[in-house]
Structures are given as C-alpha cells and as structure tokens.
Structure 1
Amino acid sequence: MSEKKKRRHLLRTIILVILTAAVVYTLYANFTKDKHEKIAVGDQAPDFVLMDMEGNKHKLSDYKGKGVFLNFWATWCKPCEREMPYMDNQYQAFKDHGVEILAVNVGQPEFSIKKFVQKHDLSFPILKDSNKDVMGVYDIYNLPATILINPEGKIVEIIEGELPEEKIIAMMESIKP
C-alpha cells in the first residue's frame, strides 16, 4: 500500500471513530436526560443542606412535621425585595404555629446578603445557595419563586413571581400542621 493510501485509510478510520463516539454520546444523553425530572405538585420535596448567615446547617428533611415556605430570591430582584417585609410579618405570626420560612439566596456574596437583611430587618433564616445547586434541583429560573411544602414533605404549590401579603397569609395557612 502506498504512503498516500495509508494516510487516507488512517484519516477515514479517525473520522469513523469520532462519528461513532458522537452518536454514542448523543444516544446516552437522550436516554439519561429524563433522570432529573422537573419537580411537580405532589412530589416529595428534594432534600438539601444549606448554611445560613450564622453558619448553621439547615437540612430540609429536619423540618418534617412543619409546613415550609421555601423562597428563592436575590438582592437585585425588586419583586423579591418588595415581598420580603410581608414574609417577615407572616414569619412572626406563624413561626409558633408549625410553619417555617426558608429564604434561599441564590449565588450572591455574603456581604450583599447581610446588607440586604440588615436593611429590611429580616428575622427568618436566610440560606446561601452559593453555587445555585438547590436552585437547579428545584428547577428555578425566575425570581422570586416560592415552593410550599406540607408537614409530610410533599410539594403543595409552586409559585413564580411576587406575592402580596394576603396571598402569603393564605399560603402559610394552607401548610400549617
């Protein structure tokens, strides 16, 4: 076989291997993409562990037996900022009735979060999702977003967008044990 034919044969073999690898990868990606399904009402809430601003760990499953108002937010989000005082009012009203608020800040520096919390004098736990991992697990793309979790740990409502205080009151009532 001539040198030219050997090179052409080698080049064709390399191209065939690359195309085969691409097809295998595409098939694998398509068959495994549904392993991470979007959360839905009625599902068990995915468990997570996040640190709060004081360095305390919060594990969602530790709140079983309580209703959880899980809120995803950021300091730059104006609707988030408007609903925070309402959430704090209702946290004060419901915290002794078995309802917790866990406010998950997504991907912001601690300095910005602390400044925001102090400005609004917030008293509920502020959790840090620095890498946006929990945000991803809960399929959150728009802020603010709120997930209501009943005392059994099931998702009962998923809401995107700003909440007026009346709606927050009704939501807290709906997850009260």
Structure 2
Amino acid sequence: MSVKKSNKLIFRLVLSSILLSAVGYVSYSEFFKGKEVTAAKVGSVAPDFSLKNLNGTEKTLTDYRGKGVLINFWATYCPPCKKEMPYLENAYQKYKEQGVEILAVNVTEPTRLVNQFISQKNITFPILLDRDGLVLDKYQVQNLPITFFINSKGEIMNKVSGELTEEKIEEGLELIKP
C-alpha cells in the first residue's frame, strides 16, 4: 500500500471516530435531557421519594403533604447521628400532635442493624430505609447527618448539615409547623 493511500485511510478513520463521538454525545445528551437531579435547596420543593419503613410499608414524601416534615438522613455508624436521636425523639413527642412529622432516613444499612439500634434507643418516629442510596443521591447528601425542614406545602425551609442540637430542632420545627 502506498503512503498516500495509508494517509487517506488514517484520515478517514480519524474523521469517522470524530463523527461517531459527536453522534454518541448528542444521543447521550438527548437521552438524559430532562433527567437532571432536582437540587434539594432551601426555597425549592422537596424532591418526592418512595421508601419502605421498618415494617415493609411503602411511604412517600407526598403522604405527609399538609404537615411540616423534618427529614433526617442518618446511619448507626455515625456518632453525631446517634447523639441527636434522643433530641429528635423528644421533639417528635412534643410536635406530633401539632401537625409535624419526623422521618429518619437510614442510608444503606441492613434492617436488622437498624431495628436493633431503634429498639435500644426507644425511637418511635418513622424510620425509612434507603437501601440503594437513591434518595440520598436525590437530596445530594454528601455527609451525615443532614436534616431538611419542609413546610406543609412541600417547600424546603431550612437545611442543617451536621449534628442537630435541641435548639436547632426546635427552631426548625417552629418554622415548619402548620
């Protein structure tokens, strides 16, 4: 094969690769268009989700529309998460009759471990299980614990990264109480 033919072949291969890459990029972009993650930011509507509780019953965030909702992402291996649980339980007892719900979303841990922890701590508020971490991703959670305070219209009114104090919980619940 001559050098001229070889150069033409290389040029055609490079050009074909560029065109295939462009077509692939456009296809990828179109496929994922409209599938962007809705950021869970203060002032925006909280992304809806569906998770099972410890009894295996499916719950969605919209099940609680009309109530103020505190969503706390946590895990049993997280020391600050463990520390704030009694504060959340006290707040739940105080606010549950005032139209406020506390939902603790456990991230990717086995049900047995979560049940043991909840039993030891005498937790009575709803625990939801995010087995595959999809809700964690939807809410763009980077670190635990993180808590979202959502009003009765489903809008995120406050977001607290890190350990909650009793005062922060009380302030947040007063903000979202219907």
Q: TM-score range by the shorter chain?
A: 0.7 to 0.9
Q: Give distance in 1, aligned partners of 2:78 and 2:61.
A: 24
Q: Which residue of 2 aligns with 1:131?
A: 132
After alignment, is 151-160 or 13-22 more displaced? Answer: 13-22
Q: Which residue of 2 aligns with 1:173?
A: 174
Q: Give distance in 2, aligned partners of 1:114 and 1:94.
A: 23
Aligned partner letter, 1:151: S
TM (norm. structure 2) is 0.87
Aligned residues: 176
Q: Which residue of 2 aligns with 1:50?
A: 51
Q: Which residue of 2 aligns with 1:76?
A: 77
Q: Is the 8 Å Cα contact of residues 146 and 161 (structure 2) preserved in structure 1?
A: yes
After alignment, is 163-172 or 67-76 more displaced? Answer: 163-172
State the 1:20 CA deviation.
Answer: 3.2
Which residues of 2 match residues 1-80 of structure 1 at below 5 A? 2=1, 9-10=8-9, 12-25=11-24, 35-80=36-81
Name structure 1 gaps, 5 residues minimum: none
* SS of alignment partner, residue 35 of structure 1: coil
After alignment, is 162-171 or 6-15 more displaced? Answer: 6-15
State the 1:17 CA deviation.
Answer: 2.9
Provide Cα deviations, 1:29-65, integer angstroms capped at 9, x if missing partner. 7895993342221111111111000111111111111
CA shift in 2, pair 1:66/1:37, >3 Å? closer
Aligned partner letter, 1:93: K
Name structure 2 gaps, 5 residues minimum: none
Which residues of 2 match residues 110-125 of structure 1 at below 5 A? 110-125=111-126
Q: Quick one: percent identity of the two aligned structures?
A: 41
State the 1:18 CA deviation.
Answer: 2.9
Compute the RMSD of aligned alpha carbons: 2.5
Which residues of 2 match residues 127-166 of structure 1 at below 5 A? 127-166=128-167
Q: Give distance in 2, aligned partners of 1:154 and 1:77.
A: 27
State the 1:15 CA deviation.
Answer: 3.6
Q: Give distance in 2, aligned partners of 1:155 and 1:59.
A: 16
TM (norm. structure 1) is 0.87
Q: Give distance in 2, aligned partners of 1:60 and 1:106.
A: 16
